[in-house]
Amino acid sequence: MVKKLKIGVLASGNGSNLQAIIDRILRGDLPAEVVCVITNRSDAFALERANNHGITAFYLNHRDFSGRAAYDAALVAALKGEGVELVVLAGFMRIITRVFLDAFPQAVMNIHPALLPSFPGLHAQQQALDYGAKVTGCTVHFVDEGTDTGPIIAQAAIPILPDDTVETLSQRIHLQEHLLYPEAVKLYAEGRLRVEGRRVVVSGIHTSPQSSLLNPSA
Protein backbone atom coordinates (compact mmCIF):
# COMPACT_ATOMS: atom_id res chain seq x y z
CA MET A 1 0.00 0.00 0.00
CA VAL A 2 1.34 3.41 -1.01
CA LYS A 3 1.99 5.72 1.94
CA LYS A 4 -0.11 8.85 1.77
CA LEU A 5 1.52 12.22 2.33
CA LYS A 6 -0.12 14.10 5.19
CA ILE A 7 -0.97 17.65 4.13
CA GLY A 8 -1.93 20.63 6.26
CA VAL A 9 -3.57 23.54 4.46
CA LEU A 10 -3.52 27.17 5.61
CA ALA A 11 -6.15 29.47 4.13
CA SER A 12 -7.73 32.85 4.73
CA GLY A 13 -10.65 32.83 2.32
CA ASN A 14 -12.54 30.80 -0.24
CA GLY A 15 -10.13 27.87 -0.43
CA SER A 16 -10.69 26.98 -4.08
CA ASN A 17 -7.16 25.57 -4.36
CA LEU A 18 -7.85 23.48 -1.27
CA GLN A 19 -10.88 22.10 -3.08
CA ALA A 20 -8.82 21.36 -6.19
CA ILE A 21 -6.38 19.32 -4.10
CA ILE A 22 -9.20 17.46 -2.33
CA ASP A 23 -10.79 16.67 -5.69
CA ARG A 24 -7.54 15.22 -7.04
CA ILE A 25 -7.18 13.06 -3.93
CA LEU A 26 -10.75 11.80 -4.35
CA ARG A 27 -9.95 10.91 -7.97
CA GLY A 28 -7.34 8.52 -6.61
CA ASP A 29 -4.28 9.84 -8.46
CA LEU A 30 -2.77 12.00 -5.71
CA PRO A 31 -1.18 9.84 -2.95
CA ALA A 32 -1.95 12.24 -0.13
CA GLU A 33 -4.56 13.17 2.45
CA VAL A 34 -5.49 16.57 3.83
CA VAL A 35 -5.37 15.97 7.58
CA CYS A 36 -6.18 19.51 8.72
CA VAL A 37 -7.15 22.96 7.52
CA ILE A 38 -6.32 26.08 9.54
CA THR A 39 -7.63 29.57 8.86
CA ASN A 40 -6.95 32.93 10.49
CA ARG A 41 -10.46 34.14 9.69
CA SER A 42 -13.63 32.74 11.22
CA ASP A 43 -15.63 33.44 8.05
CA ALA A 44 -13.22 31.69 5.67
CA PHE A 45 -15.19 29.38 3.35
CA ALA A 46 -12.22 27.01 3.48
CA LEU A 47 -13.53 25.89 6.89
CA GLU A 48 -16.80 24.78 5.31
CA ARG A 49 -14.96 22.96 2.55
CA ALA A 50 -12.98 21.06 5.19
CA ASN A 51 -16.11 20.22 7.18
CA ASN A 52 -17.86 18.98 4.03
CA HIS A 53 -15.12 16.36 3.64
CA GLY A 54 -14.72 15.44 7.31
CA ILE A 55 -11.34 17.15 7.58
CA THR A 56 -10.21 18.53 10.92
CA ALA A 57 -10.49 22.32 10.78
CA PHE A 58 -9.18 25.05 13.09
CA TYR A 59 -9.80 28.78 13.32
CA LEU A 60 -6.73 30.34 14.86
CA ASN A 61 -7.02 34.12 15.18
CA HIS A 62 -3.67 35.84 14.66
CA ARG A 63 -4.91 38.80 16.70
CA ASP A 64 -4.88 36.62 19.81
CA PHE A 65 -1.07 36.42 19.72
CA SER A 66 1.69 38.88 20.58
CA GLY A 67 3.27 38.80 17.13
CA ARG A 68 4.00 36.79 14.00
CA ALA A 69 6.49 34.45 15.64
CA ALA A 70 4.10 33.58 18.47
CA TYR A 71 1.29 32.94 16.00
CA ASP A 72 3.52 30.78 13.82
CA ALA A 73 4.59 28.74 16.85
CA ALA A 74 0.93 28.01 17.53
CA LEU A 75 0.37 27.05 13.89
CA VAL A 76 3.36 24.71 14.01
CA ALA A 77 2.08 23.04 17.19
CA ALA A 78 -1.34 22.46 15.62
CA LEU A 79 0.10 21.11 12.36
CA LYS A 80 2.63 18.86 14.09
CA GLY A 81 -0.15 17.58 16.32
CA GLU A 82 -1.90 16.29 13.19
CA GLY A 83 1.28 14.71 11.80
CA VAL A 84 1.53 17.12 8.86
CA GLU A 85 4.45 16.51 6.48
CA LEU A 86 3.75 19.18 3.84
CA VAL A 87 2.15 22.57 4.43
CA VAL A 88 0.17 24.04 1.54
CA LEU A 89 -0.72 27.72 1.56
CA ALA A 90 -4.02 28.30 -0.22
CA GLY A 91 -4.75 32.00 -0.14
CA PHE A 92 -3.22 32.40 3.31
CA MET A 93 -2.80 36.14 3.79
CA ARG A 94 0.00 36.03 6.33
CA ILE A 95 3.78 36.38 6.04
CA ILE A 96 5.47 33.16 7.20
CA THR A 97 8.32 33.59 9.70
CA ARG A 98 11.53 31.67 10.27
CA VAL A 99 9.85 29.95 13.25
CA PHE A 100 7.49 28.25 10.79
CA LEU A 101 10.04 27.56 8.06
CA ASP A 102 12.50 25.95 10.49
CA ALA A 103 9.75 23.55 11.58
CA PHE A 104 8.96 22.53 7.98
CA PRO A 105 12.20 22.91 5.97
CA GLN A 106 11.51 22.89 2.23
CA ALA A 107 8.06 21.58 3.04
CA VAL A 108 5.92 24.72 2.67
CA MET A 109 4.33 25.43 -0.73
CA ASN A 110 2.53 28.45 -2.08
CA ILE A 111 0.88 29.43 -5.34
CA HIS A 112 1.07 32.95 -6.76
CA PRO A 113 -1.08 34.38 -9.60
CA ALA A 114 1.81 35.53 -11.80
CA LEU A 115 4.93 34.18 -13.46
CA LEU A 116 7.48 34.86 -10.75
CA PRO A 117 9.80 36.66 -10.37
CA SER A 118 7.48 39.08 -12.19
CA PHE A 119 4.73 40.77 -10.20
CA PRO A 120 5.27 39.45 -6.66
CA GLY A 121 3.15 40.50 -3.70
CA LEU A 122 -0.45 41.68 -3.69
CA HIS A 123 -2.62 42.50 -6.71
CA ALA A 124 -0.46 40.55 -9.16
CA GLN A 125 -3.15 40.55 -11.85
CA GLN A 126 -3.52 44.33 -11.67
CA GLN A 127 0.27 44.67 -11.74
CA ALA A 128 0.43 42.65 -14.95
CA LEU A 129 -2.33 44.69 -16.60
CA ASP A 130 -0.81 48.00 -15.52
CA TYR A 131 2.59 46.95 -16.87
CA GLY A 132 1.13 46.03 -20.24
CA ALA A 133 2.40 42.45 -20.08
CA LYS A 134 1.26 40.12 -22.86
CA VAL A 135 1.65 36.90 -20.84
CA THR A 136 1.08 36.03 -17.20
CA GLY A 137 0.05 32.91 -15.30
CA CYS A 138 0.72 31.24 -11.98
CA THR A 139 3.67 29.85 -10.08
CA VAL A 140 3.97 27.13 -7.44
CA HIS A 141 7.02 27.67 -5.26
CA PHE A 142 8.58 26.65 -2.00
CA VAL A 143 8.22 29.36 0.63
CA ASP A 144 11.17 31.24 2.09
CA GLU A 145 11.35 34.37 4.25
CA GLY A 146 10.82 36.72 1.33
CA THR A 147 7.61 37.66 -0.44
CA ASP A 148 7.09 35.17 -3.28
CA THR A 149 10.86 34.65 -3.60
CA GLY A 150 11.24 30.92 -2.89
CA PRO A 151 12.49 28.30 -5.38
CA ILE A 152 10.06 27.77 -8.26
CA ILE A 153 8.51 24.31 -8.61
CA ALA A 154 6.22 24.78 -11.62
CA GLN A 155 4.58 27.48 -13.72
CA ALA A 156 1.68 27.78 -16.13
CA ALA A 157 1.42 30.63 -18.64
CA ILE A 158 -1.66 32.25 -20.16
CA PRO A 159 -1.98 35.16 -22.60
CA ILE A 160 -3.36 38.49 -21.45
CA LEU A 161 -6.18 39.41 -23.81
CA PRO A 162 -6.71 43.00 -25.04
CA ASP A 163 -10.06 43.31 -23.23
CA ASP A 164 -9.00 41.56 -20.01
CA THR A 165 -9.99 43.02 -16.66
CA VAL A 166 -8.67 41.97 -13.27
CA GLU A 167 -11.77 39.80 -12.90
CA THR A 168 -11.53 37.99 -16.24
CA LEU A 169 -7.79 37.53 -15.93
CA SER A 170 -8.13 36.20 -12.39
CA GLN A 171 -10.75 33.68 -13.50
CA ARG A 172 -8.48 32.26 -16.19
CA ILE A 173 -5.48 32.15 -13.86
CA HIS A 174 -7.56 30.31 -11.25
CA LEU A 175 -8.36 27.59 -13.78
CA GLN A 176 -4.64 27.01 -14.26
CA GLU A 177 -3.95 27.14 -10.52
CA HIS A 178 -6.45 24.34 -9.94
CA LEU A 179 -4.53 22.15 -12.37
CA LEU A 180 -0.98 23.14 -11.44
CA TYR A 181 -1.11 23.13 -7.63
CA PRO A 182 -2.36 19.54 -7.18
CA GLU A 183 0.20 18.37 -9.73
CA ALA A 184 3.03 20.05 -7.81
CA VAL A 185 1.80 18.46 -4.58
CA LYS A 186 1.74 15.10 -6.36
CA LEU A 187 5.37 15.51 -7.41
CA TYR A 188 6.29 16.20 -3.79
CA ALA A 189 4.27 13.22 -2.56
CA GLU A 190 6.08 10.98 -5.04
CA GLY A 191 9.47 12.23 -3.84
CA ARG A 192 10.31 13.73 -7.23
CA LEU A 193 11.34 17.23 -6.13
CA ARG A 194 14.89 18.19 -5.17
CA VAL A 195 16.07 21.71 -4.35
CA GLU A 196 19.53 22.70 -5.59
CA GLY A 197 20.16 26.30 -4.61
CA ARG A 198 17.46 28.30 -6.34
CA ARG A 199 16.62 25.49 -8.72
CA VAL A 200 13.98 22.82 -8.13
CA VAL A 201 14.87 19.65 -10.03
CA VAL A 202 11.93 17.44 -11.02
CA SER A 203 12.98 13.84 -11.55
CA GLY A 204 11.40 11.81 -14.32
CA ILE A 205 9.64 14.82 -15.86
CA HIS A 206 10.52 13.66 -19.38
CA THR A 207 8.63 10.38 -18.88
CA SER A 208 5.67 11.78 -16.93
CA PRO A 209 2.24 11.57 -18.56
CA GLN A 210 1.82 15.13 -17.25
CA SER A 211 4.40 16.39 -19.74
CA SER A 212 2.52 19.70 -19.92
CA LEU A 213 3.19 20.37 -16.23
CA LEU A 214 4.78 23.72 -16.94
CA ASN A 215 1.70 24.75 -18.89
CA PRO A 216 -1.36 22.54 -18.22
CA SER A 217 -3.36 24.42 -20.86
CA ALA A 218 -1.00 23.21 -23.59
Catalytically active residues, by annotation: 112
Q: How far apart are the first and last CA of the chain?
A: 33
132: number of Cβ within 10 Å? 7
Please compute, for residue 112, the number of CA atoms within 13 A of its CA located in the half-sphere on the CB side. Answer: 27
| Neighbour-count burial of 1, counting CB atoms closer than 10 A to its CB (0-12 exposed, 13-18 middle, 19+ buried) | exposed
Q: CA angle at residue 9 from 142 to 180, to 5 degrees?
A: 55
